[in-house]
Amino acid sequence: IFSTLMILNTIMVTFFFFFSTSWFERPSRIFPFGLFCTFVGLVVAIMGVPNVWLLFLGTFLITIGELQLGAVGQFLLIRLLPTQRAVGALYSSGMVISQLGKIVSASIVFPWLVHSDELEAPILMLTVLFVVFASFTLVFRKDFDHAAAN
């Protein structure tokens, strides 16, 4: 089932990624909604482990959140970089750091979820991360919108 969910996610992201960048105009609205979709999708997927349809619903919500965060996040990263000769190296470094963060967090969280009998701790961790990232987005919302407009 996990392989099917990952294939579904990959197909959806590949198909909709380029279209999604033209649909979104204000990062201050997109980031919180993308975070919310990802958070709810993860909770639904974790809570619905025995139910295949809840896993598919959770994966769908995670993918919607990933599209919103990924498309706008990469766009903002490009816009926020200073215009100088090393802009390619700075962008590449930002992408490497982002991917390393995903790998490290997945390597920590995945075994924890698979081998855990209790779901309260992972859901509490997700809730804390959601609040932290949503707060970060609210604090810098004007900067994000300004960078997207220029």
Query: What are the tens digits of pLDDT across the range 5-54?
Result: 778 777 777 777 666 655 666 777 788 888 889 889 888 888 877 788 88
Q: Is the pLDDT assigned to residue 57 strictly greater than 80?
A: yes
Q: How many CB atoms lie within 10 A of CB 38?
A: 22
- Cβ(119)–Cβ(47) below 8 Å: yes
What pLDDT digit, counting tens, does each position of 116-147 carry?
Answer: 777 777 788 888 888 888 888 888 888 888 87
> Is the Cβ–Cβ distance between 79 and 145 less than 8 Å?
no
Written as six digits, the tokens of 13 are 């992201």
pLDDT, residue 12, reads 75
Q: Give the separation between CA 77 and CA 87, rounded to whole angstroms.
A: 11
pLDDT band at 88 (very low <50, low <70, confident <90, very high): confident
Q: What local confidence, expressed as pLDDT, does residue 18 receive?
A: 64
pLDDT of amino acid 2: 67
Which of 34, 21, 25, 102 shows the shortest CA–CA distance to 65? 34
In contact, 81 and 30? CB cutoff 8 Å: no
Give the separation between CA 27 and CA 143, rounded to whole angstroms.
Answer: 9
